[in-house]
Amino acid sequence: MVATTTAISSVSDNFLQYRGYRIEELVGKAEYEEVAYLLLNGDLPNKNELRDFKAELTKHRTLSPFLREILRQMSESGTPMDVLRTVISASAVEDPGEGDNSHEAEYRKAIRLTAKLPTVLATYIRRRRGEQPVTPDPTLGHAANFARMAGLDEAHPRAAEILNACFILQAEHGLNASTFAARITAATLADMHAAVTAGLSALKGPLHGGATDGTMKMLDEIGTTEHVDTWVAKAIASKYKFSGFGHRVYKTEDPRAKFLRKFAQDLARDWKGPKYFDIQEALVAAIAKARPSMSPAAAEKVNIVNVDYYAATTYTFLGIPADLGTSIFAVGRMAGWCAHIMEQHGDNRLIRPESEYTGPTGKRWVPIAER
């Protein structure tokens, strides 16, 4: 069912566009900042607009002492998505536009949130390794600055380039679960911080944003390419849920996956650990071979590999632990969430879907002594 209309993105089988630009026109060509501007403003920036937009993002990267203290305390035991959700929610109390849902105020909030989330995540990554946070570098772009703050540029020279592409690929994807959660929250006229927090909460769920972690666990369980066929047979028999496979919209190909597969393939050449990419390729082939013997419902769930499948190994090869995959996803998606919240508030109508009642009827009150 169509829940709303949007001018932000369009998703259909093997097709994804942002504001009229197919994803193939953006990945490998644009900077993430250009795509964030596109989502928030409706078209790509010119040179001066991009310069000013970057300057605003750079100005708002630094975290306040209040947010740094929350991070310091949470980083000892908090999970990545719990930390992001809590810090972003807490940032509302110090935002100068809190309570103002006008377009101008929300645009400024969108810039602040997009700028701060990489700093929050990078600080968490450093702290859980027992390291001190690194301050943002105003000379670096969005992806390169995050790679430096998180120490990823030291692990791989292509980290900034690949993360820039990943952020673009994950920036927006229509009315998915987290975006719908954000729009439902925004439709109550809750402010942007509340709506983004709802989006982060929905993204935490393994059926939406957690497939990168699940994919790496699956590949580790398989172990080697020689074990793939036997493992797949047992997995199908036990109705195992294959991480990184299947999509509700994409039936023949996820247009984002081909970019990440190329990254994973290239990075695998210098990887010294397990042959993850080879296992992935063998697993794709084995599942494709087994699909005709599956039930239609089971076959539908493994119809394609989705964006998370090769994102998992791409991140691993860049030195990013598997449990951080969803939070990396959130860094890219922030601009998309903010664009949807602004669109919702711009022409708001409360989202109140109906439900079909399936419970009992006609019951009568019985006094407590007779129950």
Which residue matches tokens 């393994």? 206
Q: Is 340 a catalytic residue?
A: no
Within 14-79, residue ranges assigned H as helices are: 32-41, 47-59, 65-74
Catalytic residue among 60, 142, 308, 340: 308
Q: Is 247 a catalytic residue?
A: yes
DSSP 174: S
Within 64-130, residue ranges assigned H as helices are: 65-74, 80-90, 103-128
CB 66 within 8 A of CB 91: no
Phi-psi region of 139 (alpha: psi -120 to 50; beta: other; left: phi over 0): alpha
Catalytic residue among 60, 247, 340, 345: 247
Which residue matches tokens 């919209």? 249
Give, in order, the Cα–Cα distances in Å from 100 to each of 97, 191, 271, 335, 347: 5, 7, 49, 19, 15
To the nearest 10°, the Cα dihedral for 195, 14, 42, 5? -60
Give the integer Cα–Cα distance in Å for 164 and 350. Answer: 35
Phi, psi at residue 255, to the nearest 5°? -65, -15
For residue 163, the tally of other CB atoms under 10 A from its CB is 28
Just list the catalytic residues.
247, 308
